[in-house]
Chain A
Amino acid sequence: MLEMNPAPVLVEDMIALTQRLYHEARLLDAERFEDWLELLCDDVTYRMDLKRRRFRADRSPPAAVGAGVVFNENFARLKLRIDRLRSGYVWAEDPPNFVRRVISNVEIEPADAENEVIVHSVIVIHRNRIDGLARQFTAGRTDRWRHGTQGWCLAARDIALDHAVLPDSNINVFF
């Protein structure tokens, strides 16, 4: 629904955050994972929930316990993933895959905390894998970015992956 009176967001913030998203995408495309980590708050949460295709009229409750998640990460877990990628033993990434992220539909709105904003965006990830196999993921993202002494840092990311069946054997990429 169109917000008729959206709370104003400063043009400078708009530009700074949009640039952050683009920058982040470029760091990840270039496998500069450690630099990317520096854009994250220490208390960052990074989630991708599992979705199911259900009838619209189906009102039965979703599973209460252990609701499925593909990613449910904190800073340490993200770092562990990066350590793994850096271990030199990831055969499936050697030679490296070509990965390119496209970020779009950036929309910013105020958050509850004064130094935070909510940032909506869409990400499309192209992967060209071993033997030239090309795959594409599309997802919506809802982020919370926090302004501190380092500028804007990512405090939370919820990823809504738009695939009922993952079109690849793994999702070994950061969204």
Chain B
Amino acid sequence: MRIERIGREPEFSQYMDLKEGWLDRRIFSDAEIYEEELYRIFARSWLFVAHESQLPKAGDFLTTHMGEDAVIVARQPDGSIKVFLNSCPHRGNKVCFADAGNTRRFVCNYHGWAFDTGGELKGMHEEYCYDEIDIDRKKNGLKQVARVAGYKGLVFATFAEDGPSLDAWLGDFRWYLDMLLDNEEGGTELIGGCIKSVINANWKFGVENFIGDAYHAGWTHDSGCRSMNNGEPFPPVDMENSYHASVNGHGWEFGTEGVGDLFLLGRPKVMEYYERIRPKMAQRLGEMRSQIFGSVASASIFPNVSFLPGISTFRQWQPKGPMEFELKTWVIVNKAMPDDIKDEITKGVMQTFGPGGTFEMDDGENWSNCTTVNRGVVTRHERLHYRCGISRQIEHDTLPGIVYRGQYNDANQRGFYQRWLDMMEADKLDAMPERPEPRLTGVSETRDVPGLFAL
């Protein structure tokens, strides 16, 4: 797919200096910058579109967005997954208004053009009005995305024909992702459906909050923590044994104490469950990863997916203009878990990080006000401070990525905006720098790297 805007105006470096640690506020509210993001980032990145578990059978589908482009994700009779635009080639109407379900056909409401679950045009209302010369059905299906690929249950799609494979896109971040996706035999599934809510904020505020902002938790969520924890506030973090790790704009901030997020979920049975499988997890993923899992942690996959490993909320920030996004949240669990544990986790997630949850309720207001206050013509030119922990980078034998010591840090946020800048400025995706040089190139399974490798 040719993205004709690329190459027009590569002056985005004026909006930040990440070595100094500042950002220009206009990237959070400017309409033109937002429009460029849709072309340069959302139309070229690998974007999360579904979890395999949402589409178990042929004919199962769901509707979602890639950037602001509406798409249908559908399971094919041969077991593969196709992703195509949710827009009729005739007049452009949406062909599917359901969130999800099972079907044989998508039929456009306007003139009855009917497409199979692979997106191919199968028939039209009053077909006799078309002469043979008028239409080639093969060429008038629903527009397919350029590439679809999966990683351990997560399904991604991209409109970019060139650029890295999904494995290369995730790169060394797979070492971290596997703590969420592969901490137990059988993998994961999303359960309990999807909650959608609208927040009047720039999409990047959601992503950067999860990619590294452990710092906000103790203050923003003070009320939530005290109500869950007999009036006690968050304990101070261990700045020596907690980290930020950034890989090409993806990021994971974490402690190594193993229980913080599990505790916040507020479900003792779930805590017990993980303690029971932790020795196996250590065999599976190595000692280090078994200690990270369950700690106070949060993570984002570039550009717009986030999750809390241990708390099990999984979410996507869908851009809807510079000052609005739609938040979609799911619950992610291990398939191998017994039903009562899955049920406990679902309840725990809704009570903490659902839209009615004791933690979630505090966030939206902040992001919204961070965004809308930049309408001020003077305010929008003021720099924002992103310098926390700027000198704390370390080399770590075990942990891949650009690693900083101390969980209270802006390092992953800086890594995210660096990738944002790389993509906004790159004419060709293949020319984008690797940050950092990958360690796991050629490694198809991070379990084969048992937590330790020589530098």
Given known A70-B355, A80-B227, contact A166–B195 (CB-CB < 8 A): yes
**Interface membership of B369, Cβ < 8 A:** yes
Given known A50-B192, A77-B351, contact A84–B98 (CB-CB < 8 A): no
Task: Give the residues from 89 to 104 in chain A that come closer than 8 angstroms, CB to CB, to chain B.
Answer: 89-92
Task: In the complex, identify which listed stretch (A5-13, A29-37, A128-136) lies at the interface while the others stay far away.
Answer: A128-136
B358/A80 in contact, CB under 8 A: yes
Given known A87-B223, A131-B372, contact A165–B196 (CB-CB < 8 A): yes
A66 to chain B, nearest CB (A): 4
A170/B361 in contact, CB under 8 A: yes
Residue on B with the closest CB to A53? B99
A68/B361 in contact, CB under 8 A: no
Task: Give the residues from 108 to 150 in chain A that come closer than 8 angstroms, CB to CB, to chain B.
Answer: 129-131, 133
B228/A80 in contact, CB under 8 A: yes
**Interface membership of B152, Cβ < 8 A:** no
A68/B198 in contact, CB under 8 A: no
Residue on B with the closest CB to A57? B103
- A63 contact set on B, CB distance < 8 A: 191-193
Beyond contacts A85-B223, A169-B201: 12 other A-B pairs, Cβ-Cβ < 8 A, are A58-B102, A66-B191, A80-B227, A80-B228, A80-B358, A81-B227, A87-B222, A89-B222, A89-B223, A91-B223, A165-B197, A169-B368
Which of A85, A90, A131 interacts with B369 by CB under 8 Å?
A131
**Interface membership of B167, Cβ < 8 A:** no
B112 to chain A, nearest CB (A): 15
- A69 contact set on B, CB distance < 8 A: 192, 346-347, 350
A169 to chain B, nearest CB (A): 2
**Interface membership of B298, Cβ < 8 A:** no
Residue on A with the closest CB to B338? A65
B98/A54 in contact, CB under 8 A: yes
Residue on B with the closest CB to A59? B102
Docked complex Cα distance between A24 and B343 (Å): 31
Which of A55, A91, A92, A164 interacts with B101 by CB under 8 Å?
A55
Residue on A with the closest CB to B358? A84
Docked complex Cα distance between A65 and B196 (Å): 20
- B220 contact set on A, CB distance < 8 A: 91
Q: Which residues of B are interface residues toward A (Cβ below 8 A)?
A: 57, 60, 97-103, 191-201, 220, 222-224, 226-228, 231, 326-327, 331, 333, 339, 342-343, 345-347, 350-351, 354-356, 358, 360-369, 372
Which of A66, A88, A169, A171 interacts with B192 by CB under 8 Å?
A66
B348 to chain A, nearest CB (A): 11
- A133 contact set on B, CB distance < 8 A: 200, 368
- A131 contact set on B, CB distance < 8 A: 369, 372
B262 to chain A, nearest CB (A): 18
B193/A50 in contact, CB under 8 A: yes
Which of B198, B222, B226 interacts with A168 by CB under 8 Å?
B198
Residue on B with the closest CB to A167? B198
Residue on A with the closest CB to B228? A80
A161 to chain B, nearest CB (A): 10
**Interface membership of A72, Cβ < 8 A:** yes
A65/B355 in contact, CB under 8 A: no
- B346 contact set on A, CB distance < 8 A: 66, 68-69
Docked complex Cα distance between A49 and B4 (Å): 45
Docked complex Cα distance between A139 and B200 (Å): 22
Listed A/B pairs (12) with beta-carbon separation below 8 Å: A54-B99, A63-B191, A65-B342, A66-B331, A68-B194, A72-B350, A84-B358, A87-B226, A91-B220, A169-B201, A169-B367, A170-B361
- A4 contact set on B, CB distance < 8 A: none
Docked complex Cα distance between A88 and B363 (Å): 16
A89/B198 in contact, CB under 8 A: no
A58/B226 in contact, CB under 8 A: no
Given known A70-B356, A72-B347, contact A84–B192 (CB-CB < 8 A): no
- B367 contact set on A, CB distance < 8 A: 169
Which of B199, B231, B342, B369 interacts with A66 by CB under 8 Å?
B342
B256 to chain A, nearest CB (A): 28
Docked complex Cα distance between A58 and B98 (Å): 10
